[in-house]
């Protein structure tokens, strides 16, 4: 599945930060489209659309990058049709857990959101928080000329900036 995630992002843009921006734009356009077409749950339908497109890439669909948006809107039409059919017949949508590709899709989406949020930080803050979470914190504190406590306080302030700009990450989906 990881290959499909990478292909999906690569189709959006080869630069991860730009791919995150384009993903966000594509999702917002899908939300707008669903709202304008009278969908009762545009958020979930947009997610379902992106999940289906992602799944098709995983299944081997070959798609050119300039066709991804048009393909997603074609999928959106099917998603809306399915939604309306289920609504009219009273059929329930299967729970998320029954779709093995959906969790992987949400992980990719979370990674895109995190990348976009990290891009909003200054280069110094971004490098500091990434290094803090991936490396030796004692060595980082020494390198920065800080005590470990002062480093934790600085990281907390950076996390607060991220939450102010992007919201809490634990609840994003």
Average pLDDT of adjacent 10-residue blocks, the chain of 173 residues: 67 81 88 91 87 81 83 92 84 51 64 76 86 84 91 90 71 38
What's the pLDDT score for residue 95? 46
What's the pLDDT score for residue 77? 93
Query: What H or E segment, with its residue span, contains residue 15?
Result: none
Q: Among the residues of 37-134, which ranges form H helices?
A: 42-58, 68-89, 100-119, 123-134
What's the pLDDT score for residue 96? 47
Residue 40, phi then psi, degrees to nearest 5: -80, -20
What's the pLDDT score for residue 170? 45
Residue 135, phi then psi, degrees to nearest 5: -130, -160
């Amino acid at each position: 599945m990881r290959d499909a995630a990478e292909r999906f992002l690569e189709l959006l843009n080869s630069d991860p930060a730009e791919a995150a921006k384009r993903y966000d734009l594509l999702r917002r356009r899908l939300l707008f489209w669903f709202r304008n077409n009278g969908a009762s749950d545009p958020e979930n339908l947009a997610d379902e659309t992106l999940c289906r497109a992602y799944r098709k890439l995983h299944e081997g669909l070959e798609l050119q990058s300039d066709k991804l948006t048009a393909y997603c809107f074609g999928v959106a039409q099917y998603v809306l049709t399915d939604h309306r059919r289920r609504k009219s017949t009273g059929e329930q949508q299967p729970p998320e857990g029954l779709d093995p590709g959906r969790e992987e899709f949400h992980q990719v989406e979370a990674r895109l959101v995190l990348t976009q949020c990290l891009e909003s930080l200054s280069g110094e803050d971004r490098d500091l928080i990434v290094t803090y979470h991936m490396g030796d914190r004692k060595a980082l504190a020494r390198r920065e000329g800080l005590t470990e406590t002062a480093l934790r306080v600085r990281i907390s302030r950076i996390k607060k900036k991220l939450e102010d700009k992007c919201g809490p990450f634990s609840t994003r989906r």
